[in-house]
Structure 1
């Protein structure tokens, strides 16, 4: 399977996908750690993929999204953004609303 097909399958098959450096239990960069903290606080179920598992995945996700940095968050097949965008959305309550609008359960809805 080509990396583009693998990424497409992951993004389409899971409600929320985080491409990150490291794992949720052991993030290997501050930006990835922040996104994990946000997702855990909101309480949405997500799948995390460690780009350090494969250079092909690390390069492929940047091409797939046309976004130069990692982490990257996808919701219901749509690219949402990286750390700064997701953090701003979270602080404004927009991230929680996006999850709810897409039919995903959250523990901490926006006020």
Structure 2
């Protein structure tokens, strides 16, 4: 019976120590003011990875769409900070990443951005934020040559 008790106490102490380490790590992760990040720039993207190295296909698709429009934006890697990853989902009430904000308003994720890009709504949304899409400029130049 004593051997069993020593094993139980030892196991408990091991689990307790693991819990304390995990708790200390999570408390060490700085809390982030999501609202200030969202409003810091006209276009803000919360993604997996960074624009130069997206770590998921959906984040990569959003990066490519914004690249086609030549949009400058702030990007935040949710894989590097649990506070951002969980905070942005609560802030937008949207469960998936990537998430795109224009003028401080949640626009959507990959599917919505792709749809907006395809139907021209993204150009309109960018214009409302004072951003001229490179695709619009290209179309205007082509139309000017045709006249």
Question: Does the alignment reach a TM-score above 0.5?
Answer: yes
Paired residues, number: 109
Report what 2:59 is aligned to.
Answer: 32
Root mean square deviation, CA, Å: 1.5
Report what 1:13 is aligned to.
Answer: 40
1:99 to 126, 129, 132: 126
SS in 2 for 1:14: coil
Report what 1:108 is aligned to.
Answer: 135
Q: Is the 8 A contact 1:97 1:109 kept in 2?
A: no
- CA offsets, 1:6-36, max 9 Å, x none? 2111111210000000000000000000000
If each structure's helix is expressed as a fraction of its own residues, which one has the higher value? 2
Q: Is the 8 A contact 1:41 1:108 kept in 2?
A: yes
If each structure's strand is expressed as a fraction of its own residues, which one has the higher value? 1
- CA offsets, 1:23-71, max 9 Å, x none? 0000000000000000000111111100011111111100000000000
Larger gyration radius, structure 1 or structure 2: 2
Cα distance in 2 between the residues matched to 1:109 and 1:49: 27
Q: Is the 8 A contact 2:49 2:79 kept in 1?
A: yes
Cα distance in 2 between the residues matched to 1:30 and 1:60: 22
> Given the alignment of the two structures, is residue 61 of structure 1 paired with residue 75 of structure 2, yes or no?
no
Segments of 5+ residues of structure 2 without an aligned counterpart are: 1-29, 140-147
- TM-score w.r.t. the length of structure 1 is 0.92
- Larger RCO, structures 1/2 (Cα 8 Å, 6+ apart): 1
Segments of 5+ residues of structure 1 without an aligned counterpart are: none
